[in-house]
Amino acid sequence: MAYFPQNSPQFNYLKHLMLMYGDARRPWTPDETKYHVAHLTEEGTPDDWLFDSFLFLNLKASSGNDYCADINLGTTMSGEGDFFAACSPNPANKRDWDELLEFYLGKDGAVETLNNAIEQCCRTISQPYGHARNIVLMLPYPHITQAAFGLFPGGASSMDFSTRNQNLKSATAQRLEVSKWMVDQIVERWQQKNLPYVNLLGVYWMFETVYRGWDVDDHWLLKELRLHVNQKGLKFLWIPFWSSYNVHLLDDYQNYYFDLAFIQPNHMFYRNGKSLKATAEAARARNAGIEMEYYLELNEPIAIQGERHARFREYLNGGLEFGYMNEAACAHFHGVGSLARMHRHTDAIEREYYEDIYRFVKGSYELKPSGK
């Protein structure tokens, strides 16, 4: 088998998917989004196109409730530090899900802002724009701790995703119903807008693994939800973290759960994790893509503190050594606002990495010495 390929017509020619982490209390601006849409000269003028696909995702609602499935109760982001994940005790409710829809697709929402930023960049970039840029929208996790989601449209009582007062089948059916509703709302709202520069490619499942137990059945939920997503003409995407269990889930993932998955190497964060070579081999064997990872600040008390530059160089060089730069669909995690800050950075190394990311996305990056 091979990597999930770049330029698949069925995926509107997706090559490089940028993760766009948002803040429910602060809308995206055209100036922020242009750093992902285009490469900028030192003077700040857009002169070439950059990412072709964009995944919008928020972790929390303005209420403080969580869209993400789990929270970290430890003090570091890495499993090799003080890391302890637990199911969110403050799950998002109906009001929060409505807020996310408005954040995505409301007036001056994330999608409209990106569309307008692309239109502005067209005025200065001489290169052809090509196909409409892809948009992928995160679905909130329907938390198994949520016993009072809220009144569903047309319903008589509040939706309950927990097994406190019902069996697992009933709880999972309600989780599926609300997730389908969210997909339907995304499609309906999209159809009401005029967005000539962007294309609604699909939705994203944000929980990075799949559980089944006494009180949760994400396996059945995902299989049924994927059918609904596809019926709406959309693709279902996933980015699991590296683990032997998750890699096993990818063995036949396209026949069950997702249309496209990117393996997350975690090489930026783990001293004793799997190598990029092992990740590349696993992705090749399963028709998956690769996630690129960089962090502008990595100042946590973990084993690889201070190695972020060397490790990101290994990611970039690995794109040539293992072929994923031009052969595999790639997702890109850069933290929050990193590209803009790298472009303006006083450190020449950060500025160099800004240009290297641009060259990698364009497929013209060339090997550089490891550690620099």
H or E stretch covering 70: strand 70-72
Please give the backbone phi and psi of residue 93, each rounded to the nearest 5 degrees, phi first.
-115, -175
Q: What is the mean pLDDT of the chain?
A: 92
Average pLDDT over residues 90-117: 97
pLDDT in tens, 331-359: 999 988 899 999 999 999 999 999 999 99
Biggest alpha carbon distance in the chain? Answer: 64
Does the structure show a pLDDT above 80 at 361?
yes
In 3D space, the residue among 87, 88, 32 whose CA is nearest the CA of residue 63 turns out to be 88
For CA atoms 283, 338, 195, 361, the dihedral sign is: negative
Stated pTM of the model? 0.95
pLDDT at 319 over 60: yes
Rounded to an integer, the average pLDDT of 48-73 is 93
Domain ranges of the chain: 9-133+239-362
pLDDT tens for 61-77 read 999 999 998 876 667 66
Q: Rounded to whole angstroms, how far apart are CA atoms 338 and 296?
A: 6
Q: Which residues are CB-contacts of 261 (< 8 A; sequence separation ≥ 6)?
A: 4, 237, 238, 239, 240, 250, 253, 286, 288, 289
Residues in the chain: 372
Residue with tokens 């496209």: 260
| Identity of the residue numbered 272 | N
pLDDT at position 302:
61
Cα–Cα distance between 134 and 153 in angstroms, integer? 30
| Whole-number pLDDT of residue 22 | 95
Residues 266-301: tens digit of each pLDDT: 887 777 777 899 999 999 999 999 999 998 876 665
